């Protein structure tokens, strides 16, 4: 059986003449250059694709991070708003209780002052030399009338 590749057969290796050896070396160098160039282009193409894919992944990751941050911020603000509403409601409830208590106390004192303190009515009259004053004090126990004439000092 004959081999298709005569160089691969160990028994068939013979030295080629010198002009063919130089041609083979030039062809090997050229093929190596072509292979290295195609490998370089393939590597550069792979690097471009990898860089593009990393950019796509980074954009996707940034979108996810932003969505997570917005969701966290929204939840945080909702919690803060709910807490402020509860604080406002509690303060308003306390204010309403204090207002109700103040109104009860005011009503009690108004009623109490009517019966215990009474009312004061009066009138006055001024003449050339004196002040005439009449005061009537009405209490629950009775009324009292005070009449007073006060002389005015006149400088002459």
pLDDT in tens, 66-120: 999 999 999 999 999 999 999 999 999 888 888 888 888 887 777 665 555 667 7
b/e 85-102 (16+ beta carbons within 10 angstroms → b) = eeeeeeeeeeeeeeeeee
Give yes or no for a contact between 136 and 122, defined as CB atoms under 8 angstroms apart.
yes
For residue 146, pLDDT over 50 is answered with yes
Residue with tokens 């009312």: 119
**Confidence at residue 1, expressed as pLDDT on a 0 to 100 scale:** 45
Is 8 in a helix, a strand, or coil? coil
As a whole-number percent, the residues of the chain with pLDDT over 90 amount to 43
State the pTM of this model: 0.40
Our CA dihedral for 30, 31, 34, 35, rounded to 10 degrees, sits at: -140
């Amino acid at each position: 059986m004959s081999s298709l590749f005569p160089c691969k057969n160990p028994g068939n290796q013979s030295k080629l003449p010198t002009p063919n050896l130089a041609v083979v070396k030039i062809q090997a160098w050229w093929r190596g250059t072509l292979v290295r160039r195609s490998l370089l282009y393939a590597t550069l193409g792979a690097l471009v694709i990898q860089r593009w894919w990393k950019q796509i992944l980074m954009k996707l990751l940034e979108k996810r991070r932003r969505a997570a941050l917005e969701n966290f911020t929204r939840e945080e603000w909702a919690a803060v708003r709910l807490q402020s509403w509860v604080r406002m409601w509690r303060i308003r409830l306390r204010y309403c209780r204090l207002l109700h208590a103040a109104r009860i106390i005011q009503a009690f004192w108004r009623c109490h002052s009517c019966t215990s303190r009474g009312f004061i009515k009066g009138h006055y009259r001024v003449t050339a030399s004196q002040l005439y004053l009449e005061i009537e004090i009405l209490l629950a126990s009775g009324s009292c009338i005070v009449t007073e004439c006060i002389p005015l000092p006149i400088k002459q």
